Amino acid sequence: MADDFDSNTTGLINWLEKSGASVSSSISLQDLRLRNAGRGVVAVKKILEDEVLFSIPRSLALSVQTSSFSHEYANLLDPFEADSWLQLILVMLYEYGKGSRSSWNAYFKVLPEEFDTLMYWSEEELSELSGGAVVNKIGKARADSLFNERLVPVVQENSNVFGIGSKVSADHIVQIAHRMGSLIMAYGFDIEPQAKEADDDGYATEDEFDDWQKGMVPLADLLNADGDEKNNAQLFYEQDALVMKAIKDISQGQEIYNTYGLLPRSDLLRRYGYVADSYAQYDVVEISHEDVVAVARDELGVPQSLITERTEFCETELDAVADGYDISRPPLNVNELCCIQPELRMIVLCYCLDATCFSEIPKPKKEILRTTDSCDFPIQWYHLMRLIVERRLNAYSTTLADDKRLRESLKDDVVFGAGSPNIGETRTQRRKILALEVRIGEKEILEQTLELLGKAESSFQNGSNKRSSDEMEIDKPVKRTK
Q: Which is nearer to ligand SAM, 277 or 475 (CB)?
A: 277
**Position 265, amino acid:** R
- Strands 255-258, 224-225: parallel, antiparallel or unpaired by DSSP? parallel
Other Cβ atoms closer than 10 A to 37? 19
**How far apart are CB 103 and ligand SAM at their closest, in Å?**
20
In the window 259-288, what residues touch ligand SAM (CB under 6 A)? 272-274, 276
Using rule CB under 6 A, residue 329 touches ligand SAM? no
What is the Cα–Cα distance from 429 to 410, expressed in whole angstroms? 10
Q: Which is nearer to ligand SAM, 224 or 232 (CB)?
A: 224
Q: Which stretch binds ligand SAM (CB under 6 A): 131-139, 217-225, 302-310, 421-429?
A: 217-225
Using rule CB under 6 A, residue 225 touches ligand SAM? yes
Using rule CB under 6 A, residue 222 touches ligand SAM? yes
Question: Do 351 and 387 meet the contact criterion of CB atoms below 8 Å apart?
Answer: no
Number of residues that bind ligand SAM (CB under 6 A): 18
**How far apart are CB 464 and ligand SAM at their closest, in Å?**
51
In the window 355-394, what residues touch ligand SAM (CB under 6 A)? none
Using rule CB under 6 A, residue 38 touches ligand SAM? yes
Cβ neighbours for 373, distance < 8 A, ≥ 6 positions apart? 336, 337, 338, 478, 479, 480
Q: Which stretch binds ligand SAM (CB under 6 A): 14-22, 82-90, 216-224, 428-436?
A: 216-224
Q: Which is nearer to ligand SAM, 119 or 186 (CB)?
A: 186
Question: Do 219 and 56 meet the contact criterion of CB atoms below 8 Å apart?
Answer: yes
What is the Cα–Cα distance from 91 to 218, expressed in whole angstroms? 16
Using rule CB under 6 A, residue 37 touches ligand SAM? yes
What is the signed CA dihedral for 331, 333, 338, 344, rounded to 10 degrees?
Answer: 80
Start-to-end CA distance of the chain, whole Å, equals 57
Which helix (H) or strand (E) segment holds residue 335: the answer is none
Using rule CB under 6 A, residue 235 touches ligand SAM? no
Q: Which is nearer to ligand SAM, 4 or 402 (CB)?
A: 4
**Identified binder of ligand SAM from the candidate list 287, 346, 418, 434, rule CB under 6 A:** 418
What is the signed CA dihedral for 370, 376, 380, 382, rounded to 10 degrees?
Answer: 70
- Interface ranges with ligand SAM (CB under 6 A): 36-40, 112, 186-187, 221-222, 224-226, 272-274, 276, 418
